[in-house]
Amino acid sequence: MPIHFNDVDVVSEVAGLSSALIVPCNMCPAVTVAVRERKPFMQLFRSLLKSAPFDRYLKTLQTRLNENGVTTQIFKSVPYHQWFMCMWTSGKRKKLQKSAEQYDAVIVLGCESATETVRGVVNSDACKVVEGMKVAGIMNAELGFSLPADVSFKNCRTVPISR
Distance CA 4, CA 158 (A): 7
| Binding footprint of ligand SF4, residue count (CB under 6 A) | 11
Q: Which of 40, 53, 110, 132 binds ligand SF4 (CB under 6 A)?
A: 110
CB nearer to ligand SF4: pick between 20 and 27: 27
User: Under rule CB under 6 A, which residues in 30-69 are in contact with ligand SF4?
Assistant: none
Distances (CA, A) of 12 to 8, 40, 56, 65: 9, 31, 21, 10
Under the criterion CB under 6 A, does residue 85 sit at the interface with ligand SF4?
yes
CB nearer to ligand SF4: pick between 6 and 71: 6
Catalog residues that contact ligand SF4 under the rule CB under 6 A. Answer: 3, 25, 27-28, 84-86, 110-111, 113-114
